[in-house]
Amino acid sequence: MVVPFFRDPDTEVLFGQDGTRAETDIPFAEDVALVEEELGLEFAEPLAEASEHWFGLDSSEFRQSGLVDHARIASGRRLYEANCQGCHGADGDGGGAAARFLSPRPRNFRKGVFKFTSTATFEKPLRSDLLRVITTGLAGSAMPSFFLIPEEHRLDLVEYVRYMSMRGEFETLMLDVTYDEEEFADATEMAEIVRERWLPSELRALLPTTPETPDDDASVARGRELFLEDALTSCAKCHGATGKGDGPSATGFEDDWGYDIVPRDFTGGVFRAGESAEDLWRSIATGINGTPMGQFSGSIGSDQIWDLVHFVQSLTVEAK
């Protein structure tokens, strides 16, 4: 679903009906130019050299890192250019030609942050996480399902997105640290930070430690208590006591990409990362990266998360 827009007559800013801004992200090249101008520092050329050394496809450093499956990159790039570039942009900055007309905005991969993962908060996604999103799409957004593309090709696309993201994250980190320290950042140090974050061997999925509990009235009642319990979950503060996204703390939120966001209205039955019990368990357990929705795994037990899942699902049923 593509959300229609209205333009603020005073600011000329485009907004979606859900209140999110729709302006295009500042292209990375413009950010680089601004830093060069403000600091009086030559940055673009040494950054390009450092990026090519540490994350270039022909770089021996990168080829030996084990971070990507290089055999999939060429095919992934072609698929990305044909299917994804119009929204996500040529270099994955979320600023494709169609981006400003979409709400929510296409993901800016350069930050290295992906909302819907099975890994712990702040950790990078597994390949399977990206494959799931590409395969099923994201409900309530303009991100469609690419199920009709053969899985082998979807895996190629996953690899290219991972590559773009880690290289973009390195360049963005270099820019941010250079700006903060007012001198060219240590490229070796920044590369090691990014490489450690993306090492597949260091990533683990958070999975239910117990089978799904019976979805009955008792489970829904326990889930309701948890939902309303400030000390344990504080769900109602944002999502509201009836799950309509109208809690007392529901306003004033921005995501990590700088866009206004609102808590999910559960009664609408639209869940970006999927509506199955397993999908909802994953979202509650791991949180939604880049948003105020944090991880509940470790704070409450697996059975309690199942109870929350059943309560949230009951809100959608009641709304119907």
The SS3 assignment for 253 reads: strand
Class of domain 5-202: mainly alpha
Q: φ, ψ for residue 171 (rounded to 5)? A: -65, -40
According to DSSP, residue 43 is labeled -
Note if the bond before 104 is cis, omega within 30 degrees: yes
SS3 110: helix
129 torsion bin: left (phi>0), alpha (psi -120 to 50), beta (else) = alpha
What does the alpha-carbon distance between residue 320 and residue 314 come to, in Å, rounded to a whole number?
10
Averaged pLDDT for residues 53-65: 96
Give 217-319's CATH code, choosing from 1.10.1200.10, 1.10.760.10, 3.40.50.1820, 3.40.50.360. Answer: 1.10.760.10
- Confidence band of 319 (pLDDT split at 50, 70, 90): low
pLDDT in tens, 75-90: 999 999 999 999 999 9
Return the closest-CA partner of residue 89 out of 69, 119, 109, 70. 109
Confidence (pTM): 0.89
Cβ-based neighbour number of residue 318 at 10 Å? 11
Residues 152-192 pLDDT 10s: 999 999 999 999 999 999 999 999 999 999 999 999 999 99
Phi, psi values for residue 21, rounded to 5°: -65, 155
Cβ neighbors of 34 (< 8 A, separation 6 or more) are none
3-state secondary structure of 311: helix
At 78-133, the pLDDT tens digits run 999 999 999 999 999 998 999 988 888 899 999 999 999 999 999 999 999 999 99
**Closest to 160 measured CA to CA, from 223, 68, 53:** 68
Report domain extents, the chain.
Answer: 5-202, 217-319
Q: Return the sign of the alpha-carbon dihedral for residues 292, 297, 301, 307.
A: positive
Asked if the domains at 5-202 and 217-319 fall in one CATH topology, the answer is: yes
Q: Strand pairing partners for 16?
A: 5
Give the burial class of 196: count Cβ atoms within 10 A of its Cβ; 0-12 exposed, 13-18 middle, 19 or more buried.
exposed
